[in-house]
């Protein structure tokens, strides 16, 4: 299965597996680098293919976003990621509601990260299984005691 991933999915701690084909745009990679999330991204970096959408599909996304009223909420990166999903007939993995709204308009399949519920937005934190210290970013091991760091839902926010 082809899956296009956006920056929000990567920020929420999405992990790649070998079962699907993962694709993104160079602007998403750039965004991740700027936000210093490269470390977590590098866990599956070799599984992520970088492609660019055609001008035709970019224009179609812009037209649809104007129609839904979401254009002001979308960055250039967001527009590219929707256009790429449309072009490849891929599933778009995103937690961004404006992106999801435009996808519905364009009949692009999408799924929020976690895939269970679209009415709850989860903010993830990271915790050491040994000393229970909490961290805001994923780490290979606890810098205090060397134990494994696991993700936990730090905040759940209902989507209205």
List residues near Zn ion by CB under 5 A. Answer: 128, 130-131, 142, 144-145, 147
Residue 67's nearest CA partner among 94, 110, 105 is 105
Quick one: DSSP state of residue 47? G
HSE value, Cβ hemisphere, 13 Å, CA-based, for 144: 10
Helical residues (DSSP H) of the chain, grouped into ranges: 7-11, 26-34, 38-41, 55-68, 76-88, 97-106
- Residue 139 CB, nearest distance to Zn ion (Å)? 10
Question: Closest CB to Zn ion among 5 and 142?
Answer: 142
Shortest distance, CB of residue 124 to Zn ion, whole angstroms? 18
Pick the closer one to Zn ion by CB: 129 or 159.
129
Strand 110-111 and strand 48-50: pairing?
unpaired
Q: Which is nearer to Zn ion, 52 or 139 (CB)?
A: 139
Decide if 25 contacts 77 (C-beta within 8 A): yes
Between 125 and 130, CB nearer to Zn ion: 130
**Which of residues 67 and 129 has its CB atom nearest to Zn ion in the complex?**
129
Shortest Å distance, C-beta 110 to Zn ion:
37
Minimum gap (Å) between residue 141 Cβ and Zn ion: 8
- Work out the angle between the directed axes of helices 97-106 and 76-88 (0-180°, nearest 10): 40
- Print burial letters for 138-153: b (CB count within 10 Å at least 16), e (below 16): beeebeeeeeebeeee
CB of 7 to Zn ion, least distance (A): 29
């Amino acid at each position: 299965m082809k899956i296009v991933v956006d920056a929000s999915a990567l920020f929420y701690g999405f992990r790649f597996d070998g079962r699907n084909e993962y694709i993104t745009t160079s602007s998403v990679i750039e965004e991740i680098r700027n936000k210093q999330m490269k470390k977590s991204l590098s866990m599956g970096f070799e599984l992520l293919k970088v492609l660019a959408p055609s001008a035709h599909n970019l224009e179609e996304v812009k037209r649809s976003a104007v129609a839904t009223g979401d254009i002001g909420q979308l960055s250039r990166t967001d527009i590219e990621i929707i256009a790429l999903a449309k072009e490849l007939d891929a599933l778009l993995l995103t937690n961004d509601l404006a992106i999801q709204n435009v996808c519905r308009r364009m009949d692009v399949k999408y799924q929020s990260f976690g895939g269970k519920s679209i009415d709850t937005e989860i903010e993830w934190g990271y915790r050491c299984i040994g000393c229970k210290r909490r961290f805001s970013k994923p780490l290979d091991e606890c810098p205090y005691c060397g134990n494994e760091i696991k993700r936990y839902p730090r905040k759940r926010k209902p989507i209205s």
